[in-house]
A and B are shown apart, each in its own frame.
Chain A
Amino acid sequence: MATDLTQARLLTGGEAIVEAMCQIDPDVVPVYPITPQTPIIQGYAKAIADGRAHGEMVNVESEHSAMSAAIAAAVAGARTMTATSSQGLALMAEVVYIAASMRAPVVMTLGNRALSGPINIHCDHSDSMLIRDSGAIQLFAESAQEAYDLTVLAPRLAEHPDVLLPVIVCVDGFTLTHSAEPVELLDGEQVRGFVGEYRIPHPLLDLATPTTQGPFAMPDYYFELRRQQAAAIEGSLAVCAALGEELGELTGRRLAAVEPYRLDGARRALVCLGSTAGTAKDAVDEARDDGEEVGLLRVCSYRPFPAVAVRESLADVDEVIVLDRADSPGGSPPLAVEVAYAAGPVRSHVYGLGGRDLHPADLRGIFAGDAGHYVGLRGGEPCPA
């Protein structure tokens, strides 16, 4: 369902997330403004200065420390949020794994941007893919509106007793973080009612029940703890679906692991993450007007990957075409591998690295089979067989 423009405010994705943070009002927000950061941290700092937010903002000395402090706060018993981007996430990566393994329900925004080098601050998904296997949940927003909605949903998902994992709301750098669009906000009361009180099974500061958190695990227990972590993220798919419906009743907007768009009767279908889905919907509409039987499947939940929903959504499509905004030099692009594993043979394209634009005409060329494997690249080459 579309945003009600009469109730909407003109906000960038970053500003919309700050509004969600003010409404959630987390207890602790450890941050470090590495370049490139997102505008979220300065927006949240201003909200604290203006008295609209009441969290403890901890200015640490690096993104590595930001996630370390976030873990400590979350397991101590405080609702904790942070934000990062690109190189910041690269530095933080080691600790993201630890957050997942300690089952710390930290909520983080990731402004998706390219990794160096060459140095570049623009959008792609290389940073997300760097922590693909960390065990953290990664949900990709298509719009500023969805960035807001997912941020409101994230604490409930992270803190659910069957989940207890970090949730990363992935927001395309600049395209969503810095671009203004109409965003409809819930009432603060509605958000507070939805997210509820922060509760975890064993807060470290529960002095009546002392605990060791993040223990050493030798070969006799490491494997069991990794399996437990995998079960938690697999199970989070059902929790996320239920929460998406519950929040959808408040917002009137659909929130689900995958979004099929004009897939009925489609012979060829694109699969992508994030804001590119908006461009792709335009391209699909144009192609449909020209009589081409094409459609789109947008994946919102990249981790956990909804393999069954992807397979079922694409079951009647003759050709699946996967768009990756990250490359795997010497290998196959990450989303293409995932979809291929879930759904059978796929055509794959890499696009938009480091902020290179992707236009509806490029997507029409992809449908027509005219595009090289690297779309938008000067000196393109044919798609590998």
Chain B
Amino acid sequence: MGGLKAWTELEPGGIVVRDEAVQPRTGGWRTGLRPDADLELCVDCLLCWLYCPDSAVRLDGSAFAGFDLDQCKGCELCAAVCPTGAIEMVRDGD
């Protein structure tokens, strides 16, 4: 039970403040394919960001800025919704 807080140290109601929380890296659940973007074709429509069921699409302001593979599960939704074919699923490790 090491590292666990006493009841007197918890926020009221067990509220978790993001910056104090352990940040999970769930990209390890990915099963073989990862997205790869061709920035020549990307038009910054951000449909991939909108559809991503996690938070694996990075933004720079309102511009597409690549993928956070620590969060990506390889679901392929981003590739499916990309209107310009800029996102391709490739084998992890390639």
Contacts and interface: CB of A to CB of B under 8 A. Distances in A.
Interface of A: 101-104, 164, 201-202, 209-215, 217, 220-221, 223-225, 227-229, 231-232
Interface residues of B, number: 17
Nearest to A99: B13
B3 to A, nearest CB: 10
Given A202-B17, A211-B17, A224 B12 contact: no
Contacts of A223: 7
A335 to B, nearest CB: 29
B7 A227 contact: yes
Given A101-B13, A164-B12, A220-B4, 13 more contacts: A103-B12, A103-B13, A201-B15, A202-B11, A209-B17, A209-B19, A211-B15, A212-B16, A217-B14, A220-B1, A221-B14, A224-B5, A229-B13
A201 B12 contact: yes
Interface string B16-59: 11110100000000000000000000000000000000000000
Query: Which residue, B6, B7, B10, B13, has most C-beta atoms of chain A within 10 A?
Result: B13
Interface of B: 1, 4-8, 10-19, 21
A209 B18 contact: yes
B13 A102 contact: yes
B10 A225 contact: yes
Contacts of A212: 15-16, 18, 21
A211 B12 contact: no
A211 B18 CA distance: 6
Contacts of A211: 15-18
A201 B4 contact: no
Nearest to A210: B18
B4 to A, nearest CB: 6
Contacts of A202: 11-12, 15, 17
